[in-house]
């Protein structure tokens, strides 16, 4: 599952981000998934405000985009059926394990992992194919938390409770033995 690999993730939409190789690693996994004809789901965030409206540059997908026929689930703040749509797609495709890459680790990646885990799917988050942005301290606006800290704490919150944490190379190695 590829989440929110959109133009905003170039760093211009938010504060500085971590993991500049996240898109390259996600692209490696996507190429292998396609070659093996494994099921794919793309999630595209389109929300009013900020830079994510359907027609804005920030909402446009990067080069890691769906090909004809690959499903896209649109996520926006008013879309309460995302979970139901995702669950139906996973059930219809007979998916048991979900591998997640994308943006941003602490928000859409994390909430998606929580959702699929709650639905009973085995979830994997790819540490080096996900990324996020630095965030201000909610009480001291002059203090910034680094993107790396936000990423690592989000991953730590998911690890073992909601998902297994893997690297791109670990996923590729596991696929070679199937």
Q: Tell me: the pLDDT tens digits for 41-61?
A: 888 766 655 444 444 444 444
Walking along the chain (178 residues) 10 residues at a time, the average pLDDT comes out as 67 71 93 93 68 46 71 64 80 94 90 92 97 90 91 97 97 87
Is 164 exposed, middle or buried, given 0-12, 13-18 or 19+ CB atoms closer than 10 A? middle
Domains contained in the chain, number: 1
Angstrom distance (rounded) from CA 30 to CA 34: 6
DSSP run (H or E) holding 142: none
What pLDDT score was predicted for residue 66? 74
Provide the 8-state DSSP code for 81. Answer: T
Domain limits for position 79: 2-176
- CATH number of domain containing 125: 3.40.50.850
* Nearest Cα to Cα of residue 44 among 112, 114, 98: 112
What pLDDT score was predicted for residue 160? 95
What pLDDT score was predicted for residue 9? 43
Answer yes or no: are the C-beta atoms of 122 and 96 closer than 8 Å: yes
Q: Which residue matches tokens 């890459």?
A: 101
Q: How far is CA 5 from CA 26, 92, 101, 129, 149, in A?
A: 9, 24, 9, 10, 21
Q: In this structure, what are the phi and psi dihedrals at residue 17, rounded to the nearest 5 degrees? A: -115, 170
What pLDDT score was predicted for residue 81? 52
């Amino acid at each position: 599952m590829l989440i929110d690999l959109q133009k905003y993730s170039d760093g211009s939409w938010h504060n500085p981000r971590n993991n500049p190789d996240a898109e390259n690693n996600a692209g490696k996994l996507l190429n292998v998934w396609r070659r093996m004809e494994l099921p794919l789901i793309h999630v595209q965030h389109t929300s009013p405000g900020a830079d994510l409206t359907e027609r804005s540059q920030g909402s446009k997908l990067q080069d890691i985009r769906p090909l004809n026929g690959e499903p896209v689930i649109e996520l926006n703040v008013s879309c309460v059926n995302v979970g139901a749509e995702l669950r139906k797609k996973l059930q219809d495709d007979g998916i048991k394990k979900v591998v997640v890459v994308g943006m941003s680790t602490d928000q859409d990646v994390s909430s998606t992992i929580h959702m699929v885990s709650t639905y009973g799917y085995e979830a994997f988050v790819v540490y080096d194919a996900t990324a996020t942005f630095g965030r201000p301290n909610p009480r001291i606006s002059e203090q910034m938390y680094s993107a790396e800290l936000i990423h690592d704490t989000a991953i730590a919150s998911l690890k073992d409770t909601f998902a297994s944490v893997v690297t791109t190379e670990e996923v590729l190695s596991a696929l070679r033995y199937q």
